[in-house]
Amino acid sequence: MEKSKYYHENDVESKHMQETPAYIFHGYVASNVGLKRMNNEDNFLLDEIWNRESALDKSEDMTIANKQKAWCNVAVFDGMGGGENGELASMIAAEEFQKVFNKIDVNTVETDIETMSRRGFLNANRRIIEEQQYHAMYGTTGTIICTNGVKFKVFHLGDSRAYLFRNGELYQLTKDQTLAAMKISLGFYEENDPLVEKEKHQLTEYIGCDQTLENLRPLESQWMDLLSGDKLLICSDGLYDMCSNAQIIEIMKNEEQPEKIAQKLLQRALENGGFDNITCLVLERGICMDNCN
């Protein structure tokens, strides 16, 4: 994990929602089939917005700018298989998480969010396993961020990534759960080994892999402070495979609005080859409704 010291030093204590100021959140998602694929197997959750079609065959942009809510929940899901109904798996995951998060109210606290998020992974996994009886389907990645404007937490399975952009630096908040990453961590080969390219997207964990229906567990971050000026980015591998960290930082430094950042990142990934579906979601904390800092 890049910048791992930050990941642990900014833990915050849980508080009841009544003690937490209400914020407006500004979010934007851009998704595109890319230049090499026939259909888009990515999906997303932007608060209450998700793609209800079987596939995205063109760029789709949706926003929740100026929406007030005690909690804001965002996610990216990248369906697996390159033709094996990956778009259906990612759509199921988005739908199941939307159902779970729709139960949030002003009294929801951090421990509730954690329980709901874990339940979302289990529900989505169960639905996908059920659908595997009728469709050739593997599953989907799932990377989720939950925030109340004061703090945020990441839940993660697969290789869709979450980043924090703060003070001109980009922090990767997730670790790819792939065969290549596992072998590198075990010392089987170095990051520059040619085998990395072949195995870097062979997932070791994903939504749809747990046939027991009970044991799927996402990786979870600590609760972390969300500061003024911070931006959160979730993306599928179609973005970070095509854009280096330096290119992502350049765009996030030069653009202020989530809409412009997402659109510019998408365009850069297309210019660099667009070999896969591309989805990038950008979220920032907006105005505090209680006139707080």
Rounded CA-CA distance 103/97 in Å is 10
DSSP letter assigned to residue 293: -
By CB atoms closer than 10 A (0-12, 13-18, 19+), residue 79 is buried
Res 8: pLDDT = 31
Q: How far is CA 157 from CA 38, 178, 204, 237, in A?
A: 25, 10, 9, 13
Q: Which long-range contacts (CB under 8 A, 24 or more apart) does 58-63 make?
A: 58/32, 58/33, 59/30, 59/31, 59/32, 59/266, 60/29, 60/30, 60/31, 61/28, 61/29, 61/30, 61/259, 61/262, 61/263, 62/28, 62/29, 63/26, 63/27, 63/28, 63/29, 63/258, 63/259
Buried-exposed string 1-33: b where 16+ CB fall within 10 A, e elsewhere? eeeeebbeeeeeeeeebeebebbbbbbbbbbbb
Class of domain 21-170+207-288: alpha beta
Alpha-carbon distances, residue 94 vs 12, 21, 51, 104, 231 (angstroms):
28, 28, 8, 16, 22
pLDDT given for residue 12 in this prediction: 36
CB-based contacts of 202, cutoff 8 Å, min separation 6: 178, 179, 180
CA–CA gap between residue 91 and residue 52 (Å, rounded): 7
Pair 112, 118: CB distance under 8 Å: no
**How far are the Cα atoms of 179, 191, 206 from residue 184, in angstroms, in the given order?**
9, 7, 19
Residues 129 and 197 sit within 8 Å (Cβ to Cβ): no
Nearest-angstrom CA–CA distance, 29 and 49: 10
What are the pLDDT tens digits along the chain (293 aa)?
A: 333 322 333 333 334 444 667 888 889 999 999 999 888 999 999 988 888 765 444 444 445 544 446 899 999 999 997 557 999 999 999 999 999 999 998 789 999 999 999 999 999 999 999 999 988 899 999 999 999 999 999 999 999 999 999 999 999 999 999 998 888 888 888 777 777 777 888 999 999 999 999 999 999 999 999 999 999 999 999 999 999 999 999 999 999 999 999 999 999 999 999 999 999 999 998 878 765 65
Give Cα separations from 27 to 35, 102, 106, 129, 277 (angstroms).
25, 18, 20, 31, 20
- Residue carrying the six token digits 């700018």: 65
Domain locations along the chain: 21-170+207-288
Task: Report whether 28 contacts 63 (CB < 8 A).
Answer: yes
